[in-house]
Structure 1
Amino acid sequence: MSGPTGTTSPAELAERYGLSKSSIRPPLSSYLRELWSRRQFVLSYATARTYAMYAGARLGSIWQVLTPLLNAGVYYLAFGVLLGTKNGIDNYVAFLLSGIFVFTFTQRCMTEGSRSLALNLSLIRTLHFPRATLPLAYVLNELNQMLVSLAILFVVVGFTDGPAWRWFLIAPAMVLQMMFNIGITLVFARIGTFVSDVTQLLPFVTRTWLYASGIFFSLPAKLEQLNAPSWVVQVLAFNPISAYIDIVRRSLLQEHKQNELPHAWTIAIVWSFVMLAAGFWYFWRAEDRYGRG
């Protein structure tokens, strides 16, 4: 269609030369292929964020080791010593560290991911790329920290309990938690983009989740002391973080077998696949809305 002066309209020119809106949402299959093609960007961006986090500190990347240790020290003093939750738990240090490290991995993915798009609006508005690359880079950055924390945990357990073949079970456990973290990070990345207040609310949500996940004490043992009905244990076992923590603990600590949560592997697998699929779908549905004023 031509304008009043006989010139071709922008819409007709776009159609003639095969142009499309930069903000259009592609089919999910095409979106995933394009996302895979940007994997090098995700890796580079995550590496740059890791470097930037400690670039201004005098101790630099040493804080990657100090931060989880200091957090664990605070919780050990507060819960293990002052509240006495270490009573009846062998190797409480490894027990506590494994719970804190696993929970922190998911917690930081959620909180940092919820701001991943809002903090990069200029990039989103300038370039056309799958927006999921940004929250994925944040998850990869937290995975790097988690690997450092696991190395610390291996040293602690190696000195206290000694190495064992069951340690290899941590690899599939980390894969499952990584899948879950990607899904839940994508969910909160979308929510955080359109509801900025969620970043203020998340610390209270994750703190409540922290205390309900059996990090400082054994859930089955604690509920048994309280004479709680068996169905309460079953309900709490559906907490995905509790399942991931339980798998890591049974992989590292031989004595943890007597306090295992029921069906932890099954629950962890179901949560991982469901959250990954749901998270990608939920995030992709708003792909054409990210970056709008």
Structure 2
Amino acid sequence: MPTAEPTDPGALAERYGLTRSSLRPSLDTYLRELWSRRRFVAGYASARTYAMYAGARLGSVWQVLTPLLNATVYYLAFGVLLGTKDGIDNYVAFLLSGIFVFTYTQRCMTEGSRSLALNLSLIRTLHFPRATLPLAYVLNELNQMLVSTALLLVVVGVTDGLAWSWLLVVPALVLQSMFNVGMTLIFARIGTFVSDVTQLLPFVTRTWLYVSGIFFSLPAKLTDANAPEWVIQVLAFNPMSAYIDIVRRALLDEHTANQLPHAWAIAAGWSVVALAGGFLYFWRAEDRYGRG
């Protein structure tokens, strides 16, 4: 007599070797799946870049105009009105480097916090590693950062001339990109389950902006204020201060006199910790994205 077919869904799945499509894969499997979708990440990032400027009359020219206009506003507000440019050689390049580096991380975090929430229909329709979406947002912002960096190199080249130290910008951007991937993954998960974080982030990043030494030399200001050496050491652990500092070291010879201590080591440490911690934090909730 034939055995009766089980009617329980769980029993049927076990009998035929089926697993839930939303089940969180192992970490090594997840990494392989991410790598296999690298073309999707690149294509999605390119599509977002195109969509951002498709409706504007000047189109992709805004990729150049946006960072320049932001820098102009900050130069007038801080450099001229508040006098932060006093005592800093080549203040234009000094300011641009700080703004461009900070904006890269700021936009990765704020845009990444919405990356899953804005793509719920895609998440609920297709099965793919959810980390591809935050990674595409980072790649999109990296594209903008490369445009900004090209502008910065033109400014420095015209004002200070060419130098071999410019090559250090490459590892500096690699370290910052690692940090940005980790932070974007962290806020992508938080933004999915706590939607209010997208409203809070602009205030957090604005505060972070003012304490990262973008508009003035942080060590010089603290020295002028007779701050203890340990205060400079503590503030040097601000990851954005470290990334800004190593980019300025690469581009501006005059910045070496006011550089932060151990900036390269701090930048590398933050990159590894943020990337590893952010990826694990995001992966652990892989089977929960898109529910509800």
Map 1:26-37 → 2, pairs under 5 A: 26-37=25-36
Q: 1:206 to 1:16 in 2, by over 3 A?
A: same
- What residue in structure 2 maps to residue 142 of structure 1? 141
User: How many Å separate the matches in 1 of 2:125 and 2:156?
Assistant: 48
User: How many Å separate the matches in 1 of 2:140 and 2:86?
Assistant: 35
User: How many Å separate the matches in 1 of 2:40 and 2:17?
Assistant: 27
Contact 2:172 2:246 in 1 (8 A): yes
User: How many Å separate the matches in 1 of 2:150 and 2:18?
Assistant: 50
- What residue in structure 2 maps to residue 81 of structure 1? 80
* Deviation, structure 1 residue 29: 1.1
TM-score (norm 1): 0.97
* Deviation, structure 1 residue 71: 0.1
* Deviation, structure 1 residue 213: 0.2
Please, which runs of 5 or more residues in structure 2 have no aligned partner?
A: none
**What one-letter code is carried by the residue in structure 2 that aligns with 1:62?**
V
3-state SS of 1:68 partner: helix
- What residue in structure 2 maps to residue 280 of structure 1? 279
Contact 2:6 2:12 in 1 (8 A): no
* Deviation, structure 1 residue 227: 1.0
User: How many Å separate the matches in 2 of 1:203 and 1:121?
Assistant: 23
- What residue in structure 1 maps to residue 165 of structure 2? 166
**What one-letter code is carried by the residue in structure 2 that aligns with 1:130?**
P
- What residue in structure 2 maps to residue 151 of structure 1? 150
User: How many Å separate the matches in 1 of 2:107 and 2:91?
Assistant: 24
Is 2:113 the counterpart of 1:114? yes
TM-score (norm 2): 0.98
3-state SS of 2:67 partner: helix
* Deviation, structure 1 residue 74: 0.2
3-state SS of 2:93 partner: helix
- What residue in structure 2 maps to residue 259 of structure 1? 258
User: How many Å separate the matches in 2 of 1:171 and 1:156?
Assistant: 17
User: How many Å separate the matches in 2 of 1:44 and 1:262?
Assistant: 40
User: How many Å separate the matches in 2 of 1:60 and 1:79?
Assistant: 30
- What residue in structure 2 maps to residue 192 of structure 1? 191
**What one-letter code is carried by the residue in structure 1 that aligns with 2:275?**
L
**What one-letter code is carried by the residue in structure 1 that aligns with 2:184?**
T
**What one-letter code is carried by the residue in structure 2 that aligns with 1:152?**
L
Map 1:1-293 → 2, pairs under 5 A: 8-293=7-292
Quick check: 156-165 or 22-31, which moved more?
22-31
**What one-letter code is carried by the residue in structure 1 that aligns with 2:85?**
K
**What one-letter code is carried by the residue in structure 2 that aligns with 1:224?**
T
3-state SS of 2:260 partner: coil
* Deviation, structure 1 residue 16: 2.9
**What one-letter code is carried by the residue in structure 2 that aligns with 1:121?**
L
* Deviation, structure 1 residue 7: 5.5
> Percent of pairs identical after alignment?
82
Q: 1:88 to 1:203 in 2, by over 3 A?
A: same
Q: 1:7 to 1:276 in 2, by over 3 A?
A: closer
- CA RMSD after TM alignment: 1.3
3-state SS of 1:191 partner: helix
**What one-letter code is carried by the residue in structure 1 that aligns with 2:271?**
S
How many residues of Structure 1 are paired with residues of Structure 2 in the alignment? 291
1:81-119 deviations in whole A, cap 9, x for unaligned? 000000000000000000000000000000000000000
1:105-163 deviations in whole A, cap 9, x for unaligned? 00000000000000000000011110000000000000000000000000000000001
3-state SS of 2:129 partner: coil
Please, which runs of 5 or more residues in structure 1 have no aligned partner?
A: none
